[in-house]
């Protein structure tokens, strides 16, 4: 059964939980699935995870590659309510990537094209600076392909940049220069 992802999923919360923002992207097909369909499947997999208690997804956007190889990307953002700690949520995201054909290999220079990329951008009450995870994500506030989708579902979320500036997602989105390719093009369904 498909989990609807165009609106928040309401689930009874029985333990402490937190909100988290996840950025999604893909620019290669996975099997017979177009990149935008892979985003939908990844969103559904995230919604089905036992410790994900609720989920709200943006529409799907198109964007040009930034520091990456390959064709244009499709992107989305998801706000989740979860009981997981940041490291466990990151491991869940990496397992969903792997299940959808993503194989991470260290590279120098431009990142390779990918079937799926899931990045933990922010988690309520959490800051991290480790080899495994940096929260908030250090480049998110300057990336249109993150801020555009995220402003649809969390415009008032406060995010800090690495230099210490703090703005709402909507304000960060307003500071990003226009990009002729970056645009919302279909609902997540």
Active site residues: 102, 114, 117, 119
- Integer Cα distance of 172 and 158 in angstroms: 9
Task: Please spell the DSSP secondary structure of the chain, one letter per residue.
Answer: -PPP-SSPPP----S--EEEEEEEEE-S-BTTB-HHHHHHHHHHHHHHSTTEEEEEE--EEEE--SSB-SS-EEEEEEEEEESS-HHHHHHHHHHHHHHTT------SSSBPP-S-EEEEEEETT--EESSS-EES-TTGGG-HHHHHHHHHH-TT-EEE-TTS-EEEHHHHHHHSPP-SS-EEEE---
């Amino acid at each position: 059964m498909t989990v609807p992802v165009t609106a928040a999923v309401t689930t009874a919360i029985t333990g402490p939980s937190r909100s988290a923002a996840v950025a999604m992207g893909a620019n290669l097909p996975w099997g017979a699935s177009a990149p935008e369909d892979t985003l939908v499947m990844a969103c559904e997999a995230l919604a089905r995870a036992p410790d994900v208690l609720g989920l709200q997804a943006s529409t799907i956007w198109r964007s040009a590659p930034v520091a990456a190889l390959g064709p244009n990307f499709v992107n989305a953002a998801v706000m989740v309510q979860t009981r997981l700690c940041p490291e466990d949520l990151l491991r869940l995201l990496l397992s969903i990537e792997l299940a959808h054909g993503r194989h991470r290999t260290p590279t120098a220079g431009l990142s390779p094209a990918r079937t799926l990329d899931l990045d933990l951008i922010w988690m309520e009450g959490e800051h991290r600076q480790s080899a495994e995870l940096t929260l908030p994500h250090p480049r998110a506030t300057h990336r249109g392909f993150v801020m555009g989708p995220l402003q649809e579902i969390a415009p008032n979320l406060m995010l800090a940049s690495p230099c210490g500036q703090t703005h709402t997602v909507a304000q960060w989105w307003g500071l990003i220069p226009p990009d002729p390719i970056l645009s919302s093009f279909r609902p997540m369904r």
